[in-house]
Amino acid sequence: MAFKAEYIWIDGTRPTAKLRSKTKIMQDGAEPPVWGFDGSSTGQAEGHASDRVLKPVFTCPDPIRGGADVLVLCEVLDIDMTPHESNTRAELAEVAARFAGQEPVFGIEQEYTFFKGSRPLGFPEGGFPAAQGGYYCGVGADEIFGRDVVEAHLDNCLRAGLGVSGINAEVMPGQWEFQVGPLAPLEAADHLWVARWLLYRTAEDFGVSATLDPKPVKGDWNGAGAHTNFSTRAMREAYGPIITACEALGEGSKPMDHVKQYGAGIDERLTGLHETAPWDEYSYGVSDRGASVRIPWQVERDGKGYIEDRRPNANVDPYVVTRLIVDTCCTALEKAGQA
Ligand code: ADP
Ligand code: MN
Ligand code: MN
Ligand code: MN
């Protein structure tokens, strides 16, 4: 019996890359091989030299098709088998390998918004719903929009074997969150990209689209972020390394280096309002949801744990944010003798 492999990759339409996929019919027992695609249709090549290479890096069961069918997440390579310039995973792989001894792990909170046509789910035609306040973790048809899609997506993630750890309704109607992790950097980012693909694919069957737009409705409505929770072994064992990591993220040019790569349109979301810190001012604090980086209260109480970088936009590339945080924090921890 043949089976279907859905090859998934990240295209070259930066700064807000899209996911692409296509199907390969495989013979029983075969491993998904290296494959190719037309890079001129994805912002990854010119028409006169358009071939690009798909290198499988993470395979899991396909919960949509079921049976023996699989999803195959790929890196994009040039035809000389070196990483294409849009391939941010290859860079993360290097940095993650360099600091693997510190056992870094990530939990990423992916916020997103459902749209039906040009309006978020729950927004009436030509107007606005009741102001924010009751929607976050709400219940009931007056507060919740799209739960059937959310439940189907969660089931699909679990059937695919992805390391999702929860879901919740968010502050704006039609806005939701799922969490991936805690997992090692490459795993967390791979699982998040596949979970995003499954989100779009699941919603498609409901006639709904999902967007990672960081500020889908202008004005007094919450944006969508991707809070990135991080720890190393040392941070999970003591409080000193927690502070070292928070300080490292605020040192010199680091705040700007990070924020510039934390997703397109970051200044529209990090305004200082709606549970954000201003994009151009770094701060950290215990339990502070208005800080750039939050130390959860249990972490202060226990004297160990993890930190939450609240700055990344919903549309951040998880290969980039995990690389930046590992590089900045693990370098500082090494220097401080806390590796
Ligand atoms: P909140 O909404 O209060 O910010 P969530 O429960 O949505 O928190 O997300 C917390 C995230 O922190 C989860 O993704 C979880 O996997 C992650 N996490 C928990 N412990 C650790 C840890 N030691 N290191 C890194 N991430 C962690
Ligand atoms: Mn959360
Ligand atoms: Mn949230
Ligand atoms: Mn959070």
Ligand 1 atom closest to Cα of residue 294: 4
Residue to mutate, 167, 179, 230, ligand 1, most ligand atoms under 8 Å from C-beta: 179
CA distances from 133 to 115, 138, 142, 227, 274 (A): 20, 10, 12, 20, 11
> Which of 52, 68, 86 is where one domain is finished?
86
Name every protein residue with a CB atom under 6 angstroms from any ligand 1 atom. 105-107, 109, 165-166, 179, 181-182, 227, 229-231, 236, 305-306, 308
| pLDDT confidence bin for 258, thresholds 50/70/90 | very high
- 225 pLDDT more than 90: yes
How do beta strands 293-295 and 284-286 pair? Answer: parallel
For residue 304, what pLDDT band results from cuts at 50, 70 and 90?
very high
* pLDDT score recorded for residue 33: 96
Q: What percent of the chain has pLDDT over 90?
A: 85
- Give the range of the structural domain holding residue 323, as residue numbers without chain letter: 95-335
pLDDT at 289: 87
- Is 195 found in the same domain as 60? no
Q: How far apart are CA 295 and CA 304, in angstroms?
A: 10
Q: Ligand 1: which residue has its CA nearest to atom 1?
A: 109
Rounded to the nearest angstrom, the distance between the alpha carbon of 33 and the centre of ligand 3 is 38
Chain center to CA of 9: 15
179-201 pLDDT, tens digit per residue, is 999 999 999 999 999 999 999 99
pLDDT at 132: 85
pLDDT the model gives residue 38: 85
pLDDT tens-digit map of 59-80? 999 999 999 999 999 999 999 9
Cross-sheet strand order for the sheet of 35-38: 19-26, 3-10, 70-77, 51-61, 35-38
Q: Indicate whether 178 and 62 sit together in one domain.
A: no
C-alpha 102/C-alpha 96 separation (Å) is 10
At 41 the pLDDT is 87
CA of 111 to the centre of ligand 3 (A): 6
Task: Kindly give the distance from the C-alpha atom of residue 84 to the centroid of ligand 3, in angstroms, as a whole number.
Answer: 33
- Is residue 15's pLDDT more than 90? no
Q: Give the mean pLDDT of 124-151.
A: 92
Pocket test for ligand 1, best of 105, 229, 307 (most atoms within 8 A of CB): 229
- For the chain, the domain total comes to 2
Cα–Cα distance between 324 and 95 in angstroms, integer? 9
Which range, 48-57, 160-169, 217-226, has the best average confidence (pLDDT)?
160-169
* Domain shared by 79 and 106, yes or no: no
pLDDT for 127 equals 85
- Same domain flag for 19 and 129: no
Is-contact 276 290, C-beta < 8 A? yes
d(CA 281, CA 235): 24
> Residue 127 Cα, ligand 1 centroid: separation in angstroms?
35
- In the prediction, which pLDDT does 39 show? 87
Centroid of ligand 1 to alpha carbon of 35 (angstroms): 36
| 44 and 149 share one domain | no
User: Across all residues in the chain, what is the average pLDDT?
Assistant: 95
Residues 73 and 123 in one domain: no
pLDDT tens-digit profile of 86-120? 999 999 999 999 999 999 999 999 999 999 999 99
Same domain for 225 and 256?
A: yes
Dist. CA 179 → ligand 4 center (Å): 9
Note whether 134 and 203 are same-domain residues. yes
Atom of ligand 1 nearest to the CA of 108: 14
Which ligand is closest to the CA of 169, given by its number? 3
The pair of structure tokens assigned to 26 is 């495989």
- pLDDT classification of 275: cutoffs 50, 70, 90: confident
Q: What is the pTM of this model?
A: 0.97
> Which pLDDT score is estimated for 167?
98
| 29 and 141 co-located in one domain | no
Counting from 1 in the atom list of ligand 1, the atom nearest the Cα of 227 is 4
Domain boundary among 67, 86, 105: 86
pLDDT at 47 over 80: no
Q: Are residues 204 and 270 in the same domain?
A: yes
Distance CA 80, CA 83 (A): 9
Q: Which of 52, 86, 120 marks a domain boundary?
A: 86
CATH number of 172's domain = 3.30.590.10
Mean pLDDT of 240-251: 98
Same domain for 62 and 140, yes or no, is no
Ligand nearest to the CA of 108: 1
The answer on 298 and 173 residing in a single domain is yes
- The domain spanning residue 61 has which CATH number? 3.10.20.70
Q: Quick check: 87 and 74 in contact, CB under 8 A?
A: no
Find all residues with CB under 8 Å of 66, minimum gap 6, and list them.
none
